[in-house]
């Protein structure tokens, strides 16, 4: 479990970023962490990885205080950062150097992910494109069998086939022990993948819901004509029509349009969240 409790944090000489931020992430789920530029996503992920320390409050990962970066905890965390520099060495040498830190590292799994991502012929990291490097790191992340995977903008630089391979691989890698956190602006890339959506705005969690409850409670419409105003939670112009989020009164699960949902939350999280208040979901 990942637990942030009443986290207060500010960068030096800057205004407070996290003011009493509380968030619990449970094993067995993929979390989509969304928010506009500067909302605090990377800072939150760095707290979880023990790379930033709260000024007050706590951040615990599998029972360890994240900031102590206990080796037991670290072998259970793999971070694929948004930006990275890889050394000029062979893929095999890089894997060998890093695998030793992960007691459950599985070379067979690594090879199958590399095959899936078409990276088997690559000899040296310096000859890989940005997208290929990203896929290489994602393959390593999964092969570590770390219980917590933190992926910051993992689909950046991935071409369309690789994005669907990514979704397929991530979904199949999830098990009841794992927590996967994916932070991204490419919300469509997370469709049919994430179990929970967490939205940050100015360092505050403004929305934290499970996809099943979202698809049960709201529906996504691409033509709002004829829908009574009191059923519309959010509306926007789309190709000359009004599209939006409406109350799901049909009783059937709807297909969640993550982009519309994200736009609606950013515009008026309170109004949308009000519609979920019957649920007692933990923030
Ligand atoms: N090293 C730093 N020193 C000072 N301020 C920082 C530092 N890193 C981030 N910030 C500030 O903290 C806030 C949150 O930044 P953060 O990188 O966590 O946001 P983000 O949601 O990941 O943004 P993006 O989507 O653009 O990557 C921003 O206002 C940013 O300017």
User: Among 130, 129, 115, 24, which Cα is nearest to 80's?
Assistant: 130
In 161-240, at which residue ranges do the beta strands (DSSP E only) sit? 179-183, 196-201, 204-210, 218-221, 232-238
156 in Cβ contact with 186 (< 8 Å): yes
Element housing 19 (H / E): strand 16-25
User: Among 204, 179, 216, which Cα is nearest to 194's?
Assistant: 179
The helix-helix angle for 130-143 and 107-116 (nearest 10°) equals 150
Kindly list the protein residues whose Cβ atom lies closer than 6 A to any atom of ligand 1.
11, 14, 17, 35, 37-43
Q: How many CA atoms lie within 13 A of 47 on its CB side?
A: 28
pTM of the model: 0.93
What ipTM did this prediction achieve? 0.98
Q: What is the pLDDT along the chain (283 residues), one digit of tens a residue?
A: 999 999 999 999 888 999 999 999 999 999 999 999 999 999 999 999 999 999 999 999 999 999 999 999 999 999 999 888 899 999 999 999 999 999 999 999 999 999 988 887 667 898 898 889 999 999 999 999 999 999 999 998 888 988 988 998 999 899 999 999 999 988 988 988 999 999 999 999 999 999 999 999 999 999 998 899 999 999 999 888 899 999 998 878 889 999 999 999 999 998 898 888 754 544 4
What whole-number distance in Å separates Cα of residue 213 and Cα of residue 144?
32
- Ligand 1 centre to CA of 219 (Å) is 33
**Would you mind telling me the total number of residues written for the chain in this entry?**
283
**What domains can you pick out in the chain, each with its CATH number?**
2-202 (3.40.50.300), 210-274 (no CATH)
Atom of ligand 1 nearest to the CA of 183: 22
Atom of ligand 1 nearest to the CA of 39: 21
Atom of ligand 1 nearest to the CA of 44: 18
């Amino acid at each position: 479990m990942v637990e942030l409790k009443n986290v207060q944090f500010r960068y030096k000489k800057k205004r407070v970023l996290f003011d009493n931020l509380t968030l619990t992430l449970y094993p067995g789920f993929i979390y989509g962490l969304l928010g506009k530029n500067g909302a605090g996503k990377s800072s939150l992920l760095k707290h979880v990885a023990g790379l930033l320390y709260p000024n007050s409050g706590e951040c615990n990962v599998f029972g360890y205080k994240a900031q102590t970066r206990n080796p037991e905890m670290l072998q259970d965390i793999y971070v694929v950062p948004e930006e990275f520099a890889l050394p000029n060495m062979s893929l095999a040498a890089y894997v060998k150097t890093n695998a030793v830190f992960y007691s459950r590292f599985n070379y067979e799994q690594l090879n199958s992910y590399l095959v899936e991502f078409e990276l088997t012929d690559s000899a040296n990291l310096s000859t890989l494109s940005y997208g290929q490097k990203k896929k290489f790191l994602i393959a390593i992340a999964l092969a570590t069998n770390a219980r917590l995977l933190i992926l910051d903008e993992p689909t950046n630089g991935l071409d369309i086939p690789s994005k669907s391979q990514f979704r397929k691989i991530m979904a199949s890698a999830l098990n009841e022990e794992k927590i996967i956190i994916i932070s991204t602006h490419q919300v469509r890339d997370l469709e049919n993948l994430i179990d929970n959506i967490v939205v940050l705005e100015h360092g505050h969690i403004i929305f934290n819901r499970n996809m099943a409850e979202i698809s049960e409670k709201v529906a996504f419409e691409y033509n709002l004509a004829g829908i009574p105003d009191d059923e519309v939670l959010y509306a926007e112009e789309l190709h000359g029509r009004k599209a939006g989020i409406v109350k799901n009164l049909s009783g059937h699960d709807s297909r969640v349009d993550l982009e519309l949902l994200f736009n609606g939350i950013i515009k008026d999280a309170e109004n949308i969240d009000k519609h979920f208040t019957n649920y007692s979901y933990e923030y």
